Structure 1
Amino acid sequence: MRIITGKYKGRHFDIPRTFKARPTTDFAKENIFNVINGYQDWEETSALDLFAGTGSISLELLSRGCRQVISVEKDRDHARFISQCMEKIGADDHILIKGDVFRFLKSCHQKFDLIFADPPYALQELATIPDLIFQYDLLNEDGLLVFEHGKHNDFSTHPHFLEHRSYGSVNFTLFR
Structure 2
Amino acid sequence: MAKYSDEFKVMIVREYLAGRLGYNSLANKHGMKSTGQLRAWVSAYQKYGVEGIMRKKNHEVYSVQFKLDVLSFMKRTGASRSETALHFGLTNPPLISSWKKKFLEGGAEALDNLKGRPAMSDKAKNVQKNKKPTQQDEMTREQELEQENELLRLEVEYLKKLRAFQMDPDGYLEKHKQRYHSNSKKNSD
* Higher helix proportion: 2
> Which structure's CA Rg is the greater one?
2
Same fold (TM over 0.5): no
Structure holding more strand per residue: 1
Provide the TM-score with structure 2 as the length reference: 0.26
